[in-house]
Amino acid sequence: MPIVQISRIQHRRGKRTDLPQLAAGELGWVVDEQRLFIGNGTVADGAPAVGNTEIVTAGSSAFTTALNHTYKGYLGDSTPVTSTVARSLQQRLDEYVSVKDFGAKGDGDTAASIGAATDDTTAIQTAIDEIFTATDKADSNSRRVLFFPAGKYKITAALKIPPYAHLVGEGPEKTIIRNQGANSVMVTQDNANNVGASITALVNQIQISNMTLKNTVAHPGVSLDSATKIYFNNCRLEGSYASGGPDDSNSKGVTVTSTNAFQSSQMYFNQCQIAKFSRLVDLSYDVTNVRFNNCDFSEAYYGALIGDTLDGTSNGLTVGPRDVHFSGSSWSDIGQQAIYSKNASGSVYPRNIISSANWYASTVANNFEGVGSIREVPVIQFDNDECTSVMDFFERSDLRRSDGSSELNAAPELQGIGIQSKAIKSQTLADNTSTATTINEYPGLAGKGIRIKYKIVRGTFDRTGELIISVSTNGISYDDTFTESGTDVGVELIADQKTDGSSVVNTVVFQYKTTDTSGTPGDAILDYQTTILA
């Protein structure tokens, strides 16, 4: 109810120890502690309790406590943590920096359209510059983690990322940086604010985590220029490429450049999604030690295109990419090769390009036309040596042979110069099979060598051996070398061929025959691993 009358205002002052019971509404000023109290009055007057109530001021103990922080652990006051230090609230909060402290809105979801959203370019760049390239940049205490709360942040120019930058969001599709300009989403810059070929010192120690970097135009997601020790963790890089579209050399998810003076190295992408760029990864410049681990690659013309513009003479293009590994990742909806390492210059070329334990879907390397397309290309193509495929899984090949035969000659899983080691398979070899029966098929390009290491167990008998198959323009030849446990297991392994109607071998067929053992020991079990010399 409104106050219609104030009957009296009284004041007291003195030391804290002399503060009496104040009358209702009476003020008491504690001069030695700079604290202010007001009397409650009686319970009969409506007060919850007889006594004095402190009015919060700068001198109040409650206010002072509120402005300080002491770590107490998960048990709180019940079991305080020993040896902790009380710090001011300002000190505590300064350990945590948000782009919203610099004016970024991240209001792309709440705006009528992304075009109508706040342009956060300046705010985000100001935050990055202030934390990582300010006058105290040499002081490690200034290099705080820059946090991006969930939201859609519109930018219209590439964000320039300096050494020691550490940007963290709340997760892909939660924190989204969406580029609306004709440029990359992010580029690296040195401490003097130079970018690209103008960089005067290696850009190092950058970490980007838990966010989506989206480009709405055909430009790169991230361009890592003259940089080293770069880490992307749990990020999604997304472009504007639509499945079935043509190649566009401007649309690159990840691209790396170098100069002769400052060569890029040590790039690590862990648990990242790279999608909707014409080229998901484009590496031609001199760069070493690039790793993509447990990533997802999808919706592109090329997966990883390596060495496309390498010429051996231009600045930063003298030796090419080396030691580039893709492991434990999935690849899908890619029109051409998932990994294509080119020998563009003839004199220098990429080296040590490795695919290990990847899963290649049936939607890879068939010109977006599905399994059986007459325009299939190799899933992996190595046009240079020192390259390897180890324990990769190719769904396309398994689907083509689901009925035990191939209507068309499938393009090889791996083509070029390299070794492909496939996973171990197991198959039952039926008893008393006098007609050669297919175990597996392999594309039979001339010059290929196929090595099949195997073990056969039939009852109490076993055989360990290696079948070597050589493919040439004159046909195929094979040699089976093995050791048995004293008794013939009664299995014959055969390499045969299919041709394209002429004398050219287009398919190598791995087959078997078995003798009749009258029920004992019966069927045999074959475990085998194939290595193909492309």
Which residue range forms the structural domain that includes residue 306? Answer: 96-421
- Mind listing the pLDDT tens digit of every residue in the chain (534 residues)? 444 444 555 688 899 888 888 888 889 999 988 889 999 888 887 888 888 988 887 767 666 666 777 777 777 777 777 778 888 878 877 888 999 999 999 998 777 677 788 999 999 999 999 888 865 556 776 778 999 999 999 999 999 999 999 999 999 999 999 999 999 999 999 988 999 999 999 999 999 999 999 999 999 999 999 999 999 999 999 999 999 999 999 999 999 999 999 999 999 999 999 999 999 999 999 999 999 999 999 999 999 999 999 999 999 999 999 999 999 999 999 999 999 999 876 678 999 999 999 999 999 999 998 877 778 899 999 998 889 999 999 988 766 544 444 444 567 888 888 888 888 999 999 999 999 999 988 877 667 789 999 999 998 899 999 999 998 877 889 999 999 987 889 999 999 987 666 666 678 889 999 998 766 788 999 999 999 887
The CATH number for 190's domain is 2.160.20.10
Domain assignment of residue 209, yes or no? yes
Query: CA 328 to CA 247: how far, in whole Å?
Result: 26
Domain assignment of residue 77, yes or no? no
What's the confidence (pLDDT) of residue 403? Answer: 45
Which of 421, 445, 473 is the C-terminal boundary of a domain? 421
Q: Rounded to 5 degrees, what are φ and ψ at 298?
A: -155, 160
Domain assignment of residue 75, yes or no? no
Q: Are residues 367 and 460 in the same domain?
A: no
What's the confidence (pLDDT) of residue 505? Answer: 66
Residue 532 is which amino acid? Answer: I
Grouping H, G, I as helix, E, B as strand and the rest as coil, residue 55 is strand
Q: Are residues 366 and 430 in the same domain?
A: no
Grouping H, G, I as helix, E, B as strand and the rest as coil, residue 145 is coil
Q: Are residues 522 and 438 in the same domain?
A: yes
Handedness of CA 381, 385, 387, 391 (dihedral sign): positive
Helix/strand/coil (H/E/C) assignment for every residue in 213-235? EEECCCCCCEEEECEEEEEEECC
What's the confidence (pLDDT) of residue 6? Answer: 46
Which of 39, 62, 94 is the C-terminal boundary of a domain? 94
Q: Are residues 52 and 176 in the same domain?
A: no
DSSP-derived secondary structure for 67-122? TEE----TTGGGSPPTT---EEHHHHHTT-EEGGGGT---BTTTSSSGGGS-B-HH
Report the predicted TM-score, pTM, of the whole model to 2 decimal places: 0.81
Q: What is the DSSP letter of 364?
A: B
Q: Are residues 376 and 236 in the same domain?
A: yes
Query: CA 412 to CA 361: how far, in whole Å?
Result: 14
Domain assignment of residue 277, yes or no? yes
The CATH number for 492's domain is 2.60.40
What's the confidence (pLDDT) of residue 313? Answer: 92
Query: CA 300 to CA 273: how far, in whole Å?
Result: 12
What's the confidence (pLDDT) of residue 61? Answer: 65
362-393 burial, b at 16+ Cβ within 10 Å, e below that, comes to bbbbbeeeebebeebbbbbbbbbebbbbbebe
User: How many separate domains does the chain show?
Assistant: 3
Q: Are residues 375 and 269 in the same domain?
A: yes
Query: CA 378 to CA 410: how far, in whole Å?
Result: 9
